[in-house]
Amino acid sequence: SAVLDERAWDLIVAHDGLAGNLAFRALDLLRVRGIDIPFILVGSSTETRDESRVLQAVDAGADDCVDRDQPVRFVAAVERELRQSEVRRERERVESELRMRARQQETVAELGLLALSGRDLTDLLDRAMDAIRSTLDVELAGLLEALPGGDSFVLRAGVGWRPGLVG
């Protein structure tokens, strides 16, 4: 378990013949922790020909089960799993970015409606700062107003700041 936390892993290869069913325990650990790392189980000819053993490995979360006497198939499995892992990571990144963009658009629309409602400007700015902070998932949000001469600013509205700084 501690080894998984040491660094980001690209691939895990385990031998089916490890003592104490260690390969399957490692698969279970990945599943329990929700870690998406390609896992290839390597076994002897007898182990990989045993369909029930292969099905058990796949059911446990192995991405492939390869005979140790088939190096070409092993290399192909590694290349395929690394490609698929990269595709999954990219898809997750794009989906996360789309969710963030949708949240930002929703916030802009809400603030537009608030501005059109004719509310008090101070209330509008306070709500805008709060919406910006939560949308961007930051601790502080503020609106700086340039004072005459442009050499200094005042924090006109904000959230997350020490009391007395805003205003």
pLDDT of res. 49: 67
pLDDT of res. 52: 77
pLDDT of res. 20: 61
pLDDT of res. 91: 96
Which has the minimum average pLDDT: 4-8, 113-117, 122-126? Answer: 4-8
Is the pLDDT at 47 greater than 70? The verdict is: no
SS (H, E, C) the chain: CHHHHHCCCCCEEEECCCHHHHHHHHHHHHHHHCCCCCEEEEECHHHHHCHHHHHHHHHHCCCEEEECCCHHHHHHHHHHHHHHHHHHHHHHHHHHHHHHHHHHHHHHHHHHHHHHCCCCHHHHHHHHHHHHHHHHCCCCEEEEEECCCCCCEEEEEEECCCCCCCC
Could you tell me what percent of the chain has a pLDDT over 70? 93
